[in-house]
Chains A and B, each alone.
Chain A
Amino acid sequence: MSEIKKFMFVNRKAPYGTIYALESLEVVLITAAFDQDVSLVFLDDGVFQLKKGQQTKGIEIKNFSPTYRALEGYDVEKLYVMKESMEARGLTEDDLLVPVTVLTGAEMGALMDEQDVVLSF
Chain B
Amino acid sequence: MLHIVNKSPLENSSLESCLNVATSGDVLLIEDAVYAATTGNGFEPKLLAAMGKVKVYVLQPDLDARGMGDRLVAGVTSVDYSGFVDLTTTNNTCQSWL
**A-to-B contact residues, CB < 8 Å:** 10, 12, 20, 43-44, 82, 84-85, 105-106, 108-110, 112-113, 115-118, 120-121
Contacts and interface: CB of A to CB of B under 8 A. Distances in A.
B23 A44 contact: no
4 A-B pairs with least C-beta separation: A118-B95, A109-B21, A109-B23, A105-B20
B41 interface: no
12 contacts: A43-B17, A44-B13, A85-B17, A106-B21, A109-B21, A109-B22, A112-B93, A112-B95, A113-B24, A113-B25, A118-B95, A121-B98
A116 B95 CA distance: 10
Nearest to A115: B93
B20 A84 contact: yes
Contacts of B20: 84, 105
B93 A118 contact: yes
A42 to B, nearest CB: 12
Contact of A120 (B1, B25, B98): B98
Interface string B62-98: 0000000000000000000000000000000111111
B2 to A, nearest CB: 10
B39 interface: no
A44 to B, nearest CB: 5
Contact of B21 (A105, A115, A117): A105
Nearest to A110: B23
Contacts of A44: 13-14, 17
